[in-house]
Amino acid sequence: MQELHPTGAGNAPLPVQEMHPNHPLNHYRTLCPADADHTQSLDFDFSGFWDQFADAFPRMGDAEKTEDALRKALGEGTDPTEILAGAKAYAVEQAGNQPRYIKYSENWVEEKRWRQHVRKPRGSAAGLSGRSHDAH
């Protein structure tokens, strides 16, 4: 196996790159479909998302830490609708609880607690019976 220079110049090594792998000038790396979830759309309205999250979450803590944690989660490819759905479900779950028992927003986001409240569809029941078709 041979590494080729992007211009096709024999065994020339690839140049050192000191920029983010998704930088637009980085033409040596193309995104694969698996990377698609890790990039936010240029038209994503974080401010609107933030407002919805702040309205839904039952105990806002440090706004800057919460924003940083949300941006990190979104940067890792988390669907913003899952975070919002989780925040709303958490608010319902915590209704009537004393504030001291409700997580601060930055901790809830950092711990990815929305995952506890968002259900993904499971596979079909076929194949879950535990019986092997080869055992006959």
pLDDT band (50, 70, 90) for residue 83: very high
The C-alpha atoms of residue 126 and residue 129 are separated, in whole angstroms, by: 7
**Per-residue confidence at 43, pLDDT binned at 50, 70, 90?**
confident
* Rounded percentage of the chain residues whose pLDDT exceeds 70: 57
Task: Compute the C-alpha angle 52/54/59, nearest 5°.
Answer: 145
pLDDT digits (tens, 9 = 90+) for 113-125: 999 987 765 555 5
Work out the average pLDDT over 78-90: 96
Distance from C-alpha of 54 to C-alpha of 119, rounded to nearest angstrom: 22
What is the predicted pLDDT for the residue at 66? 97
Q: Region 45-68: what's the mean pLDDT?
A: 96
